Amino acid sequence: MKNRNYVLFVLPAMALVAFVSIVPLISLLYISLTENGSFTLANYVRTISRPSNLKVIVDTFFMSALVTVFSALAGYIVAYFIYKAKPAMQALLFALVLLPFWTSALVRTYSWVVLLQRQGIVNDSLQFLGLASEPIGLVFNFTGAIIGMVHVTLPLFVLPLYSAMKSIDTNCMRAARSLGANDVEVFWGVFFPLTVPAVMAGALMVFVFSLGFYATPQILGGGNVVNIAMKIQQSVTTYPDWPTAACMGIILLLLTGLFLVVSSLAKRTQLFFKRMRLPAHV
C-alpha cells in the first residue's frame, strides 16, 4: 500500500518530465524522418552529404575535447590547491570556483569580452609586462570561445575531483613516505592514481556538457566559431530548414549516447581486467 501511494505521489512529476523531454524528442525524430508526410532517410543523407555540416560536427567534438583537456589541466591544479588550503581559504576558493554557476550566462560571457578585448585588462597587462608588443586577438575568435567554455565547465571538473581527493586515506601517503618515497614519488605513485577515476568522471561530464554549448561560443567566437548548437539555431531561424535542424539534433544525441556507451564499456573492461589480475582469496 505504501509503495502504491509513493507511485501516485511521484506520478505527476514523472509525467511532467516525460512531457518536456520525451515528447519534443519524438517530434524532432518525426521531423527528421519524414518528407511530404512519408517516411524517408533523405533528410539524413542530405545533411551528412554536405561538407559544411560534417565540418561543424567535427569542429564541435574537437572543441569539446580541447575544452576537456584544458579543464582537466586547470581543474586538477585548482582542486589540489583547494585540497591543500586551510578550511577558511577553502570556502573562499570554492566561492570563486562556483561563481560561474551563480551568475547569468550573458553576464559572465560579456565579462570575458571586456577582459579579453584589444583594449581590455588582459592585453593591457601583457603589454605593460612586456610580454606583447601589440594587442593580441583573444576574443571574437576560436581562442575566446575556448577560454569562456573552460571557465564555465571548470566547476564540473573541480567538484568531483576535490571530493575524491578528500576521501583518500592519508595513511597511504604516510606509508609511502615511511618506505623512503619523496613528495614527488608519493604524488605520482600514490595520490594521483587514486584520483584517476574522478578525473575520468569529471572529464566525461565536461565533454558531454561542452557538446551543447551555444551562448558562450556564439558571443566570444564572434561568428567565427560554429558548433552543432549554433548550426541548429541557424537552420531554424536563418534559412529556415527544420529537417536539417532536426537531423543535426538527432545526430548530436546519437553521437553523445555512443560516446557515453563506449566510455561505460571501457570502464567495465578496465575493471574486469583489474579483477582478473587480483590474486584469489584463500
Q: Is the dihedral of CA 248, 254, 257, 263 positive or negative?
A: negative
Per-residue confidence (pLDDT) for residue 203, from 0 to 100: 93
Per-residue confidence (pLDDT) for residue 282, from 0 to 100: 38
Per-residue confidence (pLDDT) for residue 4, from 0 to 100: 64
Q: 270 in a domain, yes or no?
A: no
Whole-number CA gyration radius for the chain? 24
Q: 1 in a domain, yes or no?
A: no
pLDDT digit string, tens, across residues 230-253: 999 888 888 788 899 999 999 999
Q: 27 in a domain, yes or no?
A: no
Q: Which of 242, 244, 249 is nearest to 211 (CA)?
A: 249
Residue-range definition of the domain harbouring residue 222: 42-262
Percent of the chain residues topping a pLDDT of 90 = 47
- Across the chain, the runs of DSSP E, i.e. the strands, are 34-35, 38-39
User: Which portions of the chain are predicted below pLDDT 50?
Assistant: 278, 280-282
Q: 17 in a domain, yes or no?
A: no
Per-residue confidence (pLDDT) for residue 275, from 0 to 100: 66
Q: 32 in a domain, yes or no?
A: no
pTM of the model: 0.86
Question: Other C-beta atoms within 10 Å of 202: how many?
Answer: 28
Q: Which whole-number Å values give the CA distances from 215 to 69, 92, 104, 162, 199, in the listed order?
A: 21, 28, 11, 28, 26
Q: Output the nine-digit C-alpha cell for 105.
A: 550566462
Q: 23 in a domain, yes or no?
A: no
The CATH number of the domain holding residue 201 is 1.10.3720.10
* Count of domains for the chain: 1
Whether the Cβ atoms of residue 63 and residue 145 lie closer than 8 Å to each other? yes
Q: 198 in a domain, yes or no?
A: yes
Q: 4 in a domain, yes or no?
A: no
**Backbone phi, psi, residue 34, to 5°:** -125, 150
